[in-house]
Amino acid sequence: KRRRGSESVDIEDRLESLITRVGEKSTSSLESNLEGLASVLESDLPNYKQKIMRILCECVTTMPEKLTVYTTLVGLLNAKNYNAGGEFVELLVRNLKEVLKTSEFDSALVMVRFLADLINCHVIVAASLIMMFDSFLEVTLEDNIPQVRSDWYVYAVLSSMPWVGKELAEKKDAELEKLLTTIEHYIQKRQKIHVQTLRVWTSDDPHPQEEYLDCLWAQIKNLRANQWEEHQILRPYLAFNVVLCDALQHTLPRIIPPSHHDEATYPLPTVVFRMFDYTDVPEGVGIIPGSQAIERYLLEEHISRIIESYHLERKDCAAYLLSFPLKCKVPLNYMIVEVLFSQLFRLPRPPYIDLFYGSLLVELCKLQPSSMPQVVAQATEMLYDRLDTMNTSCIERFVQWFAYHLSNFQFRWTWDEWSDCTQQDLLGPKAKFVQEVLLKCMRLSYHQRMVEIVPADFKALLPRKPVPSFKYEKEGSGSLPGTIVVHQLMQAIKSKCTPEEAFSIIKDVPNPLKEKEGMDPGYNPLRIEVFVQTLLYIGSKSFSHSFAAISKFNNVLKALAETQDGQICLLKSLYELHKDHQQLIVVLIDKLLKTQIVECSAVANWIFSDEMMQDFTSDEEDYDNVKRIWQRFEVAYKEATDFYVWEIMHSTVKKMNKQVQKLQKEVDEARDRREAAHRRTRDGLDLDDEPEDVPTEEMIERMEDRLEAAQSEQKNLFLIIFQRFIIILTDHLAKCESDDSDYNTHWYKWVIERLQQVFLLHHEQVYRYINTLETLMFTSDIDIHILEVFQQFCALRS
Amino acid sequence: SRQQQEDLLLHSTTLYVGNLSFFTTEEQIHELFTRAGDVKRIIMGLDKFKKTPCGFCFVELRKFPRSVLIASDPSFYNLNSVVRYYTREDAENAMRYANGTRLDDRVVRTDWDVGFKEGRQYGRG
């Protein structure tokens, strides 16, 4: 489709397309393409200079995987037109200063790297790059700043070294050594309390899981030991050495890091995820570089950059990943799979939604059916083998991905090879993993299919059939109090009674609590149970039926569950009816929250109630494991270890967070509109037809009140959650101490890592309340195991 | 008008989901599409070819074992439905990542929809 307009628009479009596409697969060589493009740009410079500069600068950040292609192009342009080179550098530096100010550190990183590589193309003098690096490293001497700030500046310098180390060593050896010494001192004095909380695996066997800056430092030291020779970066400028050497170079203006302020958010530290080494790869397809080789870092960087550039188009992303230009023979499939899993498992959160990784892996398998599926299968086997030390959050993502993957491949899997899980305690990581995978697979298909796909000895791990368990229609229900009312109610609802009519039927249900204690408890558990279970049982045909039931009887439900205890009772009734249909519980609670029938804090309190959380398994250690597996339905362990419970918890917290965000946005926008109106009045631009939608001071105050109320609800929710975690974990630890038994049970691991997950998944929100948490909850008198989780979280941003 | 239609599509949070198996339930669609974001509503559609009101047809058919119906021509039982999200961003994620992947062994196709209106479940286009 061609845009209308002048000829110049056409030329600008053509320039943009030429510049953005250079370096893609082409019939002629990259060198001749670059040479041709540089000439075109040179001749268009007089008329389209601004446009060309802008496009080039955009390429720096939008296509970081082609960095050296663009540095070469800029180099060639500079050799032809010194002023143009100067203007480009000036613009890029201006952009860099801007993104540093606005905390866009990812863009800043590629800009720094680009500037560094420009010394290889004789655009910038080496001494001025050293000056920039020096001023970056001065940040390490600042007082009272978070470590993440100095970490970033050190990382920016270190991560440019593979591109520029050799040139600097030749031209500015002494200065370079000084830089590296400063970095070495810094690396040695850093605190690393955060590492525990960010690791995918607690074990370093078979592969060490290194802190990212430590790992890069080790790789750079190796690179230096190898005289700065690396074997990964394509350097198109080498072919133009003669032309480029004649070019005049520019001096970088001073770039001083903007000083620290409280709003600045620096990238969080990471732990480098490693799952393969050279022994995992079949012969003949190349060698995976060692974990401390710079090539490993460069490959990972390049793959990550491609993902970043193309994540919105999974098909393009897969194609670009597989057509990666390699200098030496590397098993690219393995590297891609490792990087994808490293992102999927990244803590606190993956860079993109997990469906992206799932669909990209499916795409890669389709695009390269001869080898990709095998590599993905091999990776899955390895992840399964290493489940024992895997973090719960990561196991959860593994389950989520694997179920999706299986559903894309007809659920075909060599389950027999995993039969060791059937020998395990049901709460053991492998057994639990398989149970949760089957549950998730069932949600994407249906129960019978699960029965068909797994071998007979997996029977104990199969989900129960997701059907309602309605006690009022079971044998012996006649003796239950309420059965008669249930049948009346059922008749009435089926013949489309009004909510008022329904309410009048249950009105006289006696309150068992009142009879016992002789006072009004504020809710009637029997009435709630009768109504909720009958209504949801009738609606259990599908989600839509259930939703329709809730929405029709919305007012009745609200009237029954006015108090928090009433709401918790409602949730218990729902759970009792649908406990074999986890997905339905999840969506129904979601609906109850959205329709404001229950509050977030009621959900949290319900999740931590004894019925859901208590650890009964430690009383049963004597049971023979195998026997217990076969007694699946008799074993009384509570839902705390079931993944869907935490699915509910996190979606509840997210809902709360979204509400606060929404109200915050409303207040901000109202204030902006009001200020703009004031400005207009001040500037005498106030016309008679002033827009009506300028909010009054009162309206803004009311909005602020609502925001404040939501914020205190949010804070309260977090306090409830953390308090309950502390209580159940403290109970467990105390019990184990008095029994003289090992506290580190499966139950304990599942639950304490869920505590960690609450911190990580909602870290921005939790962080706002960190002082309250420190003074009220995570005080020095609580058990060190629990306190550590909090301290590690705090260290993430310190 | 055409322009209005285009604007609606550009801001739509609703997806038309095609090529579903006739056996695919609302629950399954929810499970896949909720991975892209918060689903507001799912409307189960109709048999594209027979134009019979699926609401009934569907429920009735599910009383038979799956295997019986799979034996007949599966392409005949082709179901379409509509998934609506709360935000455009979530709907875009579904377009990007759920579109073209499998559900119930069928490659699901999604497309922008200007929004569900009553009566629309009786066939499309």
Cα A373 to Cα A375: distance, rounded to the nearest angstrom: 5
Average pLDDT rounded to a whole number, residues A552-560: 97
Q: Count of CB contacts below 8 A, A vs B? A: 65
Strand runs labelled E in A63-172? none
A192-244 pLDDT tens trace? 999 999 999 999 999 999 999 999 999 999 999 999 999 999 999 999 999 99
- Between A638 and A612, the more confident residue is A612
Query: What single letter denotes the amino acid at residue A338?
Result: E
End-to-end CA distance of chain A, in Å? 52
> Confidence band (pLDDT; 50, 70, 90) for A1?
very low
Measure Cα distances from A358 to A80, A276, A531, A749, A752 in Å. Answer: 47, 20, 41, 27, 28
Average pLDDT rounded to a whole number, residues A248-276: 95
Contact B30 A583 (CB under 8 A): yes
Look over chain A and give the mean of its residue pLDDT values, rounded to a whole number.
92
Average pLDDT rounded to a whole number, residues A745-757: 94
Rg, C-alpha atoms of chain A: 31
Find the farthest-apart pair of alpha carbons in chain A and give their distance in angstroms, rounded.
99
Q: What percent of chain A has pLDDT over 70?
A: 95
Burial class for A154, CB neighbours closer than 10 Å (0-12, 13-18, 19+): buried
Least confident window among A27-36, A402-411, B107-116 = B107-116
B28 CB neighbours in chain A (<8 A) are: 443-446
- Between B70 and B98, the more confident residue is B98
Query: What single letter denotes the amino acid at residue B48?
Result: K
pLDDT at B52: 42
Window 2-41 of B, Cβ < 8 Å to A = 25-28, 30-32, 35-36
Cα A155 to Cα A149: distance, rounded to the nearest angstrom: 10
Residue from A653, A675, A671 nearest A766 by CA: A653
Interface mutation target, options B31, B39, B93, chain A, most CBs of A under 10 Å:
B31
Q: Reply yes or no: is the peptide bond before residue A267 cis, omega within 30 of 0.
A: no
Residue from A623, A545, A627, A611 nearest A575 by CA: A611
pLDDT at A263: 87
Query: What single letter denotes the amino acid at residue A516?
Result: K
Provide φ and ψ at B47, rounded to 5°. -65, 120
Q: How near does any CA of chain A get to the CA of B37, in Å? A: 9
Contact B36 A444 (CB under 8 A): no
- Between A578 and A631, the more confident residue is A578
Q: What is the DSSP string of A466-535?
A: -----GGGSTTGGGSTTHHHHHHHHHHHHTT--HHHHHHHHTT---HHHHHHSS--SS-HHHHHHHHHHH
The alpha helices in A138-210, defined as continuous H runs, are 147-171, 173-189, 195-198
Average pLDDT rounded to a whole number, residues A157-168: 98
The total of other beta-carbon atoms located within 10 Å of residue A148's CB is 19
Q: How near does any CA of chain A get to the CA of B96, in Å? A: 7
Element (H, E) at A727: helix A697-739
Cα A375 to Cα A405: distance, rounded to the nearest angstrom: 14
Find all residues with CB under 8 Å of A572, minimum gap 6, and list them.
Answer: A606, A609, A611
Cα A535 to Cα A281: distance, rounded to the nearest angstrom: 57
Q: Is the predicted pLDDT of residue B54 greater than 50, yes or no?
A: no
Q: How near does any CA of chain A get to the CA of B125, in Å? A: 24
DSSP code of A259? Answer: P
B102 CB neighbours in chain A (<8 A) are: 407-408
Measure Cα distances from A202 to A30, A389, A460 in Å. Answer: 45, 5, 28
Find all residues with CB under 8 Å of A616, minimum gap 6, and list them.
Answer: A636, A637, A638
**Which is it for strands B109-113 and B78-85: parallel, antiparallel or unpaired?**
unpaired
Average pLDDT rounded to a whole number, residues A739-766: 94
Is residue A56 a contact partner of residue A90, using CB atoms and an 8 Å limit? no
What 3-state class would DSSP assign to B118? coil
> Confidence band (pLDDT; 50, 70, 90) for B113?
confident
Can you name the residues that pair with B17 across neighbouring β-strands? Answer: B81, B110
> Confidence band (pLDDT; 50, 70, 90) for A513?
confident
Is residue A424 a contact partner of residue A430, using CB atoms and an 8 Å limit? yes
Q: Is the predicted pLDDT of residue A327 greater than 90, yes or no?
A: no
Contact A353 B97 (CB under 8 A): yes
Average pLDDT rounded to a whole number, residues A712-739: 94
**What pTM value is reported for the model?**
0.92
pLDDT at A517: 64
> Confidence band (pLDDT; 50, 70, 90) for A423?
very high
Q: Is the predicted pLDDT of residue A60 greater than 50, yes or no?
A: yes
List the single residue in B42, B59, B103 with the smallest CB-CB distance to A541: B59
| A5: its two tokens | 């307009």
Provide φ and ψ at A39, rounded to 5°. -65, -45
Cα B60 to Cα B41: distance, rounded to the nearest angstrom: 22
- The whole-angstrom distance between residue A213's C-alpha and the CA centroid of its chain comes to 21
- Between A208 and B50, the more confident residue is A208
- With tokens 């922008």, the residue in question is B112
| A398: its two tokens | 């593994």
A587 CB neighbours in chain B (<8 A) are: 30
Q: What percent of chain B has pLDDT over 90?
A: 42
pLDDT at B4: 81
Residue burial A603-636, b: 16+ Cβ < 10 Å; e: rest: bbbbbbbeebbbbebbeeeeeeeeebbeeeeebe
Average pLDDT rounded to a whole number, residues A63-89: 96
pLDDT at A331: 94
What residue in B sits closest to A409 (Cα-Cα)?
Answer: B105
Least confident window among A166-175, A492-501, B5-14 = B5-14
- Reported ipTM: the value is 0.92
| A213: its two tokens | 């800056």
Least confident window among A276-285, A728-737, B38-47, B75-84 = B75-84
Q: Is the predicted pLDDT of residue B2 greater than 90, yes or no?
A: no
Q: Is the predicted pLDDT of residue B10 greater than 90, yes or no?
A: no
Is residue B102 a contact partner of residue A408, using CB atoms and an 8 Å limit? yes
pLDDT at B118: 45
DSSP code of A432? Answer: H
pLDDT at B114: 75
Average pLDDT rounded to a whole number, residues A329-355: 96
Least confident window among A403-417, A551-565, A630-644, B64-78 = B64-78
Q: Is the predicted pLDDT of residue A430 greater than 70, yes or no?
A: yes
pLDDT at A677: 85
